[in-house]
Amino acid sequence: MAAVVAPPAVVAQKPQVVASTITAMPRLTKAATFVAAGTVAILLSGPPALAADLILGEEVFNNNCAACHMGGNNSVQNEKTLRKSALEQYLAGGFNQDAIVYQVENGKNAMPAWADRLDEDEIQAVAAFVFSQASGDLW
């Protein structure tokens, strides 16, 4: 078994300081593990919308969606707004950006499909914009 050698700064300290430094190491390891796990979770949840995506998304929304969804409302079916609570209730797949992309691409009921009218970047951007607005209760 290899001997544990304390760093030179620890060796020069008083014994009680050395003991507290050694007992603090497992706590630091736990904290580092927690931070690493949090970082992995954030990375796996997908990239946040970039400001440029939201600007393009707002432009696409204003040019294509606002006729029926001005201010996050719905001029055809009043209860089916773009507010988070309504999207959680009515959006197939739950409240997430992928479900919004699906809805934009395929349409539903009175809402037309936009897959043949908007390119993929525009669809992703408008979905990011709608998700951001709804997530922040900005409608």
Q: Is residue 82 part of a domain?
A: yes
Look up the pTM and report it: 0.65
Largest CA distance in the chain: 77
Q: What is the pLDDT of residue 30?
A: 64
Instruction: Give the per-residue pLDDT at 106.
Output: 98
Mean pLDDT, consecutive 10-residue stretches, the chain (139 aa), reads: 57 56 60 56 56 95 98 96 96 95 96 98 98 96
For 54, list phi and psi in degrees, rounded to 5.
-70, -35
The pLDDT assigned to 50 comes to: 83
Helix 120-135 with 51-60: angle, nearest 10 deg: 100
Say whether both 40 and 55 belong to one domain: no
Q: Are residues 18 and 84 in the same domain?
A: no
Cα distance between residue 94 and residue 83, in whole Å: 13
Looking at the structure, tell me whether residues 77 and 118 fall in a common domain.
Answer: yes
Q: Is 4 a member of any domain?
A: no
**What pLDDT, on the 0 to 100 scale, is given for residue 34?**
55
Hunting for tokens 């970039």 — which residue is that? 50
